[in-house]
Structure 1
Amino acid sequence: MKNLGLSCLLLVSIGFQSCKNEKANDTKEATKAEKPISVNCYQALYDKDTIDLKINTLKDGKISGSMVMKMYAMSEKTGDIEGEFRGDTLFADYSFIQGKNENATFKNPLAILKRGDTLILGNGKIETYLGRSYFAKGAPIDFDRVKYKFLTVDCVDK
């Protein structure tokens, strides 16, 4: 009888988890399908490094887009960003693949400060908990001593 109760509990848990995953996928697909109210493209150059950023602003204030990081002597990072502005700072997650390895997807937090037409990629202490990376609470994000400052460029579809 005890094993029957545990089996039922396990099945119910699996059912709830699968429903949760479907809702998360539906939300992600809806965000990608939604037409943006504005699209802006930016580029940051530092020594031999180049970062191309495309930001789509959606109706609900959420941000989606893409980013390609070409760092000297490193594999190219290509991926998507999703987040939202809090004041003048965009907090987003950057999900990317590195090089041609499409089997491994990485996810890093981003903080990008908007000053006029310029975006500044901030540096901060990143912590990881249960496989999720985020900016450490209470630790400041530096927007002054940075490498990457994005300037507005024309959007080019590839």
Structure 2
Amino acid sequence: MKKLVLSCMMLSLAGLQSCKNDEKQKETDAAKADGEKIVSTQCYQAVYENDVIDLKMNTLKNGKISGNMIMNVAGSAQKNGEIAGEFHGDTLFADYTFVEGENKKFKNPMAFLKKDKQLILGNGTMQTTMGVTYLVKDKPIDFERVKYKFNTKECVDK
């Protein structure tokens, strides 16, 4: 009889513990969703010769950046993709993910310097290891001799 009572108590405690875990998971999910709320949106455009790049950048409550970028570069197909990253000081380090051709997915690292109301797309040394491309940490990023300088523009939803 004692074993039966002890078994019932153990099962009850296990059930209560799983309820606590569910509550903690819900709290974690709610905090994550709150951090991913959009605080502000800014649009930019860069024009260089016949190239035009449009960038819509959302600043999230948790400080991260999300958005989308459309690249119309002369001589190549239009690239439409998502950008995600975060600022380190005045530099935005982000990944640009887009699909090209037969659903071939690409992910390119980018660095933008925020200077006044302008974003400057830097040129850095890239390296690919195990299929992942990244900017080399020990090599400086050039923000002086660049093609694309993004100026703010009014956001237009299509």
TM-score in terms of structure 2 length: 0.77
What one-letter code is carried by the residue in structure 2 that aligns with 1:85? F
1:44 corresponds, among 39, 43, 46, to: 46
**Corresponding residue number in structure 2 for 1:68:** 70
CA distance in 2 between partners of 1:74 and 1:42 (Å) = 21
Identity %: 57
Does residue 97 of structure 1 match 2:99? yes
In 2, Cα distance between equivalents of 1:137 and 1:152: 29
Alignment of 1:67-86 (within 5 A): 67-86=69-88
Deviation at 1:35, TM superposition (A): 2.9
Q: Please report the TM-score for the alignment, with normalisation by the length of structure 1.
A: 0.77
Residue 81 of structure 1, CA deviation:
0.5
CA distance in 1, matches of 2:133, 2:46: 24
SS for the counterpart of 1:37 is: strand
For residues 57-93 of structure 1, give each alpha carbon's deviation from its aligned partner in whole angstroms, at most 9, with x where no partner exists.
Answer: 0000000000000001111111001100000000000
1:129 corresponding residue in structure 2:
129
* Alignment length (residue pairs): 127
Shift of 1:102: 5.2
* Greater radius of gyration (CA): 2
Aligned to 2:19: none
Do the aligned residues in 1 keep the contact of 2:113 with 2:119 (CA within 8 Å)? yes
User: What residue number does 1:116 align with?
Assistant: 116
Structure 2 counterpart of 1:106: 106
Aligned-pair Cα RMSD in Å: 1.7
How far did residue 34 of structure 1 move? Answer: 3.6
Distance 2:107 2:76 in 1: 17
Match of 2:145 in 1: 145
Structure 2 runs not aligned, ≥5 long? 1-28
Q: Aligned-pair distance for 1:103?
A: 1.3
1:44 partner amino acid: A
Structure 1: gaps of 5 or more residues: 1-26
Confirm or deny: 8 A CA contact 2:99 2:105 kept in the other structure. Answer: yes
Mapped partners of 1:40, 1:108: distance in 2 = 21
